[in-house]
Structure 1
Amino acid sequence: MADPDVYKENDDLFFLSGTGDGRTLPIYETNDLSSFRLKRSYDASAADPTYDYCMLWAPDLGKYNGVYYLYFSAQRVPNGMACPATGQDVTTFVASAPDLNLNFGAPQPINPNTTYPRTTIGSACTPQGCNRNIRIDSATFNDTSGRWLFYVWFDRGNNISSFNLAAPGTVYNHTGPALYTLPANEEGINEAPELLKRNGIYYLLFSSGWYNSQYAMNYIMADSLPALTRARAVRQLSQPMRNDAGALIQTHGHNVVVDRRGEFFNIFHQGAFSPPGTFTSRSTYKQRIAFKPDGSMHSLNQVNVRWTRLTGYNYSLDLVLRDGTVIGPCIYAGIIGSANKTVFNGVCPSAGNRMVNKGDIAAFRIFYSNSSTWGPFVEKAYDGVSDDVFLEIPGGTTPFVDLSWSEEETGAQYSIDIQRRDTGAWIGPCIGVNSVNRSLAWTYSGRCDTPGINVAISNITAFRICTAMNGDWAHARCGSTPYDGKSMHVPIVIP
C-alpha cells in the first residue's frame, strides 16, 4: 500500500487507508498503531449509481462536526465507459459517512459550479488559474480558524495550495515549481501535503521528486497556516538512499503524522528498488518522531558524524549495532580521507551497501591512522534518534564548529557573536548580517569576518545568535549557548 493516511478517533482507535489497486480504497482499523485489520474497502463505483471511478489514489480520512469524510483522487466517467478516459485528468472527490461504520456514500465534487478551488473533470486549468484545480493528495486539517483543505495542482509540475473551507474564495499558495524555483533534486514535484500543529508551531510536510526517483520528505515550520511557504526554511526529513555506484536503494514519501499518548509517529510509504536501481514496489512503514529544542524534527535516515582532528591522519567509520554486531568499515578511509565530518544516510557503502536504520545503531566508531595500519579508535554511544554525533579523539583539535539556530519571523536576518574565554568580552558581531543574512546555519573556523580578527575555537565560551527584521538591529532579539571549546556542533534557540 502507498500514500498512507491515518485518522485518529482516540488514543485507542485509529483508521488507516491508502492507495491500493486503483479501484477501491482499503480502510484498516487498529487500536495500537501496530496490528491492523481490514474494516472495509470503499468502492466508489459501487456507491454511485451514475458514475464509475478509477485511479483512486491518496485518500484523506477525517471528521468534522460529527461527520466522517473520505477525500480521494480519481477519474470519473459515466457508467460503463472506459476509465481512465482521454481528455481527463485526475481530480478530487469527497464522500461522507454518519458514524464509525465508515460506510461512505456516493462521491461528491468539491465546490461544483463555482469559481472556488474545485473538482475539475477535464484536463484544462480553470479560468481562475491552475491553482483552482483540486487534483490530487488532499489533506484536511481542523484548526481554530476552521477546517482547511490542502491539495496539489498541476502546472510545470506539482504544486501545493490550500483554502479555508469556510472562506474558499481566498487561496493560499505554499510551494511548487509554478510558485518558486526548486532545487534539481525535487524534480519539479511538491506533493502529498500533511499538516501538524505542536507547541504553537504549524508544520507543512510534503514530498518532493518522482515516486520512482528522488522521492523524499520535507517540511516547513511557521506560526500560521498561510505562512507555510518557501519564504521559510525547507528542511529535509528524509533523503533517498543510494549504493556506492549511485543507484537507488530506497526512497520515502507521502507521509502522515499521528500522535498517541504524547508520542508522535510518522507513517509513510517506502519505495523498494532492484539492484540496478529500478523501482519495484511501495509499502507502508512507521517511525517515531523526535523533536529538537527549536521544534524541528530529527531526520528519518541521516546522522552528521563529526570528530576532532589529528594532523596527517585519515579516518574510517564503523557502526556498532544494538545486537552487538559491528559493521566495519561502514564508510572506509578511501571515502572519508582526512575530513573531520561525514554524513551517514542509512547505507554503508563500504559494507556491501548494507542498509542500517538509525534506531538499530548503538554506537559510532571512528578509526584513525597516519599509516596503512589501523588500530586505534574512539567510540560514542548513540541514542538511535539524533542527527548529530561528536567523537573526541585523544590529542585532537577542533577544526570547525557547525552552528545552527531556530528560525524566527519570516524574512528575519541573523548575525553571530562570540564570547572570548581569555577576557570574557563579547565580539558582536563576529559574523555580521551581510554574511549570514537569512541562513539558519554557519560553520565557524576561527575567524571573525566582520572585525577581521582571529579567535581560536578553544578561546570561545559562548556563541550568540541575534535576529532582527528589516534592519532594525536596535530591537534585535538574541539567544546564546555556552560552549566547551571542543564540540563541533552547537544548536541555539532564540527566545
Structure 2
Amino acid sequence: MADPDVYKEHDDLFFLSGTGNGWQLPIYETRDLTSFQLKRSYDPSVVDPVYDYCFLWAPDLGKYDGVYQLYFSAHRVPNGAACPPSGQEVTTFVATAPDVNLQFGAPQPINANTTWPRTSTGTACLPQGCNRNIRIDSATFNDTSGRWFFYVWFDRGNNISSFNTAAPGTVYNHAGPAIFSTPSYEEGINEAPEVFKRNGQYYLLLSGGWYNSQYAMYYVMGDSIPQLTRARAVRRLSQPLRNTAGRLVQSHGHNVIVERRGEYFNVFHVGAFDASGNLTSRSTYKQRVAFKPDGSLHSLNQVNVRWNKLTGYSYSLDVVLRDGTVIGPCLSVAVLGQANKTVFDGVCRSAGDRVVTKGDIAAFRIFYSNNNVWGPFVERAYDGISDDVTLDLPGGYTPFVDLSWSEEETTAQYSIDVQRRDTGAWIGPCIGVTSVNKSLSWTYLGRCDTPGINVPSSNIQAIRICSAVNGDWARARCGATPYDGRGMHSHIVIP
C-alpha cells in the first residue's frame, strides 16, 4: 500500500487507508498503531448509481461536525464507460459516512458550481486560476482557526495550495514550481501535503520528486498556516538511497503524522527498486518522530558523522549494530579519504551497498591511519535517532565547526558572533549578514570574515546567532550557547 493516511478517533482507535489496487480503497483498523486489521474496502463504483471510478489513490480520512469524510483522487466516467476517459484529468471527490462503521456513500464533487477551488475533470485551468483545480493529494486539518483543506494542482509540475473552508475564496499557495523556485532534485514535484501542530508550532510536510524516482520528504515550520510556504526554510526529512553505481535503492514519501499519548509517529511509504534502479513496489512503514530543541525533526535516515583531524591521516567508517554485528568497512578509505565528515544516509557502500537504518545502529567507529595499516579506532555510542554524531580522535584538532540555528520570522536574516576565550570580548559580527543572509547553517573554518581576523575554534568560548527583519539590527534577537573550543557541531536556539 502507498500514500498512507491515518485518522485518529481516539488514543485507542485509528483507521489507516491508502492507495491499493486502483479500484478500491482499503480501510484498516488499529487500536495500537502496531496491529492492523482490514475493516472494509471502499468501492465508489458500487455505491454510486450513476458513475464508475478508476485509478483511485491518496485518500484522506477525517471527521468534521460529527460526519466522517473520505477524500480521494480518481477518474470518473458514466457507468460502464471506459476508464480513464480521454480528454479528462484526475480530480478529487469526497464521500461521507454517518458513524464509525465508515460505510461511505456515493462520492460528491467539492465546491461544485462555485468559483472556489473545486473538483474539475477538465484538462484546462479554471478561469479563476490553475490553483483552483483540486487535482490530487487532499489533506484536511482541523484547527482553532477553522478547518483547512490542502490539495495539489498542476502547472509546470505539482503545486500545493490550501483554503480555510470557512472562507474558500481565499487561496494560500504553499509550495511548487509554479510559485516558487524549486531545486532540480525535486523534479518539479511538490505534493502529498500533511499538516500538524505541536507546542503552538505548525508543520507542513510534503514530498518532492517523482513517485518512481527520487521521492523524498521535506517540511517547513511556521507560526500559522499561511506562513507554511517555501519562503521559509525547506528542511529535508528523508534522503532517497542510492547504491555505489548511483542507482536508486529506496525512496520515501507521502506521509502522515499521528499522535498517540503524547508520542508522534510518521507513517509513510517506502519505494523499493530493482538492480537497474526501477521501482518495483511501495509499502507502508512507521517510524517514531523525535524533535530537536527548536522543534525541528530528526531525519528519517541521515546522520552527520564528524571526527577531528589528524594531520596526514586517512579514515574509514564502521557501524556497530544493536545485535552486536559490525559492518566494516561501511564507508572505506576509498570513500572517505582524508575528509573529516560524512553524511551517512543508510547505505554502506563499501559493504555491498547494504542498507542500514538509523534505529539499528548502536555505535559508529572511525579507523584512522597514515600508512594504510588499519588498527586504531575510536567508537562513539549512538542513540538510533540523532542527526549528529562527533568522534574525538586522540591528538586531533578541530578543522571546522558546523553551526545551525532556529528559524525566526519568514523574512529574517542572520549573523554570527563569537566570544574570544583569551579576552572574553565578543566579535560581532564575526560572519556578517551579507554572507549568512537567510541561511540556517554555516561551517566556521577559524576565520571571522567580516573583520578579517583569524579566531581558531580553540579560542572561542561562546557562539551567538542574531536575527533581524528588514535590516533592523537595532532590534535584533539573539541566542547564544557556550562552546568548549573543540566540538565540531553546535546548534543555537534563538529565544
State the TM-score, normalizing by the size of structure 2.
1.00
The separation in 1 between residues aligned to 2:414 and 2:189, in whole angstroms, is: 30
Amino acid at match of 2:360: D
- The 3-state SS of whatever aligns with 1:169 is coil
Amino acid at match of 1:226: P
- Indicate yes or no: 2:145 matched with 1:145: yes
The separation in 1 between residues aligned to 2:366 and 2:113, in whole angstroms, is: 64
Query: Structure 2: where are the runs of 5+ without partners?
Result: none
The separation in 2 between residues aligned to 1:243 and 1:86, in whole angstroms, is: 39
Cα deviation digits, residues 238-277 of structure 1 (max 9, x gap): 0100000100000000000001111100000000011121
The equivalent of 2:208 in structure 1 is 208
- The 3-state SS of whatever aligns with 1:77 is strand
Query: Structure 1: where are the runs of 5+ without partners?
Result: none
Amino acid at match of 2:52: D
The equivalent of 1:169 in structure 2 is 169
The equivalent of 1:217 in structure 2 is 217
- The 3-state SS of whatever aligns with 1:335 is helix
CA RMSD of aligned residues (A): 0.5
The separation in 1 between residues aligned to 2:242 and 2:461, in whole angstroms, is: 40
The equivalent of 2:468 in structure 1 is 468
The separation in 1 between residues aligned to 2:264 and 2:272, in whole angstroms, is: 25
- The 3-state SS of whatever aligns with 2:57 is strand
The separation in 1 between residues aligned to 2:196 and 2:400, in whole angstroms, is: 35
The separation in 2 between residues aligned to 1:435 and 1:240, in whole angstroms, is: 30
Cα deviation digits, residues 206-261 of structure 1 (max 9, x gap): 00000111100000111110111110000000010000010000000000000111
Amino acid at match of 1:265: F
- Aligned pairs for 1:32-71 (under 5 A) are 32-71=32-71
- The 3-state SS of whatever aligns with 1:170 is coil
- Indicate yes or no: 2:289 matched with 1:284: no
CA shift, 1:118, in A, is 0.1
Over 4 Å off, 4+ runs: none
The equivalent of 1:354 in structure 2 is 354
The separation in 2 between residues aligned to 1:232 and 1:372, in whole angstroms, is: 46
The equivalent of 2:389 in structure 1 is 389
The equivalent of 1:90 in structure 2 is 90
Amino acid at match of 1:172: Y
The separation in 1 between residues aligned to 2:336 and 2:293, in whole angstroms, is: 30
The equivalent of 1:4 in structure 2 is 4
The equivalent of 2:335 in structure 1 is 335
CA shift, 1:124, in A, is 1.3
Amino acid at match of 1:247: R
Cα deviation digits, residues 436-463 of structure 1 (max 9, x gap): 1111001111101111111110010110
Amino acid at match of 2:305: V
Paired-residue identity, %: 78
CA shift, 1:68, in A, is 0.6
The equivalent of 2:100 in structure 1 is 100
CA shift, 1:172, in A, is 0.3
Cα deviation digits, residues 396-420 of structure 1 (max 9, x gap): 0000000000000001011100011
The separation in 1 between residues aligned to 2:196 and 2:313, in whole angstroms, is: 46
- Aligned pairs for 1:162-311 (under 5 A) are 162-311=162-311
Amino acid at match of 1:466: C
The separation in 2 between residues aligned to 1:175 and 1:164, in whole angstroms, is: 17
Cα deviation digits, residues 63-112 of structure 1 (max 9, x gap): 11111100000111111111100011110000111110000111010000
- The 3-state SS of whatever aligns with 1:334 is helix
The equivalent of 2:425 in structure 1 is 425
The equivalent of 2:113 in structure 1 is 113
Amino acid at match of 1:65: D
- The 3-state SS of whatever aligns with 1:226 is helix
The separation in 2 between residues aligned to 1:389 and 1:334, in whole angstroms, is: 21
Amino acid at match of 2:389: V
CA shift, 1:128, in A, is 0.8
The equivalent of 2:344 in structure 1 is 344
Amino acid at match of 1:306: R
- The 3-state SS of whatever aligns with 1:312 is coil
Q: Number of aligned pairs? A: 495
The separation in 1 between residues aligned to 2:327 and 2:80, in whole angstroms, is: 58
The separation in 1 between residues aligned to 2:165 and 2:82, in whole angstroms, is: 33
- Indicate yes or no: 2:437 matched with 1:437: yes
The separation in 1 between residues aligned to 2:292 and 2:313, in whole angstroms, is: 33
The separation in 2 between residues aligned to 1:157 and 1:453, in whole angstroms, is: 47
CA shift, 1:278, in A, is 1.2
The separation in 1 between residues aligned to 2:313 and 2:170, in whole angstroms, is: 60
CA shift, 1:181, in A, is 1.7
- The 3-state SS of whatever aligns with 1:168 is coil
The separation in 2 between residues aligned to 1:372 and 1:452, in whole angstroms, is: 39
- The 3-state SS of whatever aligns with 1:95 is strand
CA shift, 1:44, in A, is 0.4
The separation in 1 between residues aligned to 2:275 and 2:387, in whole angstroms, is: 28
Amino acid at match of 1:429: P
CA shift, 1:123, in A, is 1.3
Amino acid at match of 1:157: G
The equivalent of 1:73 in structure 2 is 73
The equivalent of 2:484 in structure 1 is 484
The equivalent of 1:371 in structure 2 is 371
- Indicate yes or no: 2:327 matched with 1:316: no
The separation in 1 between residues aligned to 2:383 and 2:484, in whole angstroms, is: 21
CA shift, 1:122, in A, is 1.4
The separation in 1 between residues aligned to 2:467 and 2:122, in whole angstroms, is: 48
The separation in 1 between residues aligned to 2:39 and 2:260, in whole angstroms, is: 21
| Bigger Cα displacement from structure 2, 121-130 vs 164-173 | 121-130
Amino acid at match of 1:458: S
CA shift, 1:52, in A, is 0.7
